[in-house]
Structure formats: C-alpha cells, structure tokens
Amino acid sequence: MADIGGLSGGVVDPGVRGTPGEGTPVSRPGAQAPGRGIADGSLVEGLVTSKDGEMYRVKIGAQTLSARSTVVLFPGQRFRALWDASTSPPTLRLQHSDTAMLARFSGRDQQVASALFSRGMPVDEESVAELRRQWLARGGDPAKLGAMAELWARGAELTEANVALLAWYMALTPEETARIWKKIRDRLRGKKTSSPKGLLSALKDGGDAEVSRFLASHAIAGRKARDGIDPAALLAPAWWPMSQDGEPKRAKVAFSGEHHGERRVWRCAFGFEGDSLGPVNGDVVSNGMSVSINIRLESEKSADRVRAGLDELREELAEIPLNIQYLGASVAWRGEPEADERRGLDMEI
C-alpha cells in the first residue's frame, strides 16, 4: 500500500479514485458490511487495530471495520490504500503505481521488497539486495523475514537470537503484554537507582526470565531507525502500557542517549493512537536524577482532557525515584512541522 507507516491516518479522500482488482488478496473473506460513507475506490488512511488469522480490523475515521488486504499488515500499522467495497468484507488494495513498483522485482527479491514496502521502508535495489543477502544467508525462511526486516531497519544484528526474540515479541497478545507489564510495575515500586540504565539492569537481573526477555525485545523495538529510514515507519512498535488494568497498545517508541559534558541524558520519544484522544505523541527526558515529560495532542479539546488528569499522573509518577521537573500537555497540529517542545532539564537536579 502507498506510503505505509508514519501517516496521520484515519481519513477518507473520496476525490482519489483507483482501479480495484489489482493484486491478489491474501486474506480470507468474512461477513462484514461495507463501511458506511466510504465510496468504492476511495483512497483511505487508517490504522490496523488487530489481526485474526488473515483478517484485519481497521480504524478509518470513527469507524472500526473488518477488511482483507492485498499485502500483509500488522497491528498498530498506519496505511493508505484503495477501498474496494465490491468484496465482502471490503479489500484494501494497492494503488496502480505501487503495484508497478513491486512488479519490478521477482522471486525472492519481490518477497523482500514486499516486506520492506508493507513497513514503509525504502524499496530500492540496494536495500532489497542487502536484506535479501542476509536473509538467504540465514536460510531464507519466509517466517523470519518480517523480524529480519525490523532488525535491519534498526541497524541491529541479524542473529538467530535477535530474530527469535523480536518474532516472539511481535506475536505477543495484548493480554500477555498486560500481564508482563504488571509484573514490571510491581518490581519497579520502591526501587532506588542512580540511573535509568541501573534500573533496567536491576529488572533484567531480577530472576524472571519472561520479564528479562520482554525488556530485551522492548529495547530492540525501541532502537532508532538506521539512516535513510523514517523512524515513524518502523513496524514492530513497542508495546506501551496504558493503565494499571487497561489493555496495552502498540506505540511508536524510540530511545536515545546523549552526553552533555560529563552528564548523560536519556530520551524516549513515543506516539500512539488514543481511543478518544486521537494521535498522542510526546517526549520523556531524564538525566538519571530528574525527568521532564511533554505530551502532544492534535486538538485543544484533547489537550485539555489530558491536562485535567496530570495531577493524578504526577501522583503515580511520585513512585519512581526521579524528581519531576516538568509535566505538561501541548497541541501539535497535524501537518505542521513538529517543533521541539521538550522542556530542558536542570542538569544539577
């Protein structure tokens, strides 16, 4: 599908028409009425909320629908595709230009090109050749290609251990993830440490193999994208806990570290699709003693709702061994260049 990954999503452009019928659907049909108000052949943007076998649940605007797809999708992925309402359920199809682009490749190259394309990664001769070489060198197992594409996009080593780790992580259900996050929260309470890295080390060495495996996978999923790849287009976004008992969501999460003199600063940039708030993005910046948190939303209404809950969030954050220097919510309008709204840390606090 065109421009998969990193889209604002959730809209329909009825002015763009396509030619349904291209490609071969990879999903099984099932009972589902076409989306109300979505004209056959419209270009739609949306979000994949879940996958059941080869059937997808997608959110387009305010509607959540079932659909088939001509390419493999994943939970948490944004997409842009043509809406073919002539099938039941409707089918998300490639645009003609995308079909022509993939048709330039054949055999194993086309498998690799499709794996990159469906993740919003560069589909050029060099990228396809590099990933194909590493994939074939490790046996060419189609079941491993998705995880290998994710590792390649992050510049991580394509070892058997990393492939198995990320494949396991990507296959976790929301229920399994919520249970693991609860164990992590329980272990975090009351722990004192001089740095986020020290805290992670204490968790990984805590004797729980599942927690250690999850955190190791989470670290891979949160790595920065390699040069030339839009970080918003990465597939396996990190699982992000929403609340103590709520279902976790897929979120775009990227961790980075930088030095300021002799001090180390860690930054976590995150983004996810809220059920009622719309797109939510933000930054968490820490020097190991203090933390600054800014949450960005797309409307004043959503920002006001978040601001109303900041006192409660501040109370929950009081459990962590870091001083809260800043906690706030601001508005970042869709389509505008994203300004760096992070509040600076007082390095002595």
On the CB side of 242, CA atoms within 13 Å amount to: 15
Task: Report pLDDT digits (tens) over 125-168.
Answer: 998 999 999 999 989 988 888 889 889 888 889 999 999 998 88
Integer angstrom CA distances of residue 313 from 2, 68, 290, 307: 38, 39, 16, 10
Q: What's the pTM value of the predicted model, to 2 decimals?
A: 0.62
| R_g of the chain, CA atoms, integer Å | 21
CA 251 remoteness from chain centre: 4
In contact, 205 and 190? CB cutoff 8 Å: no
Task: Report pLDDT digits (tens) over 233-291.
Answer: 554 455 666 655 555 566 677 777 777 777 788 888 888 777 788 888 888 888 878 88
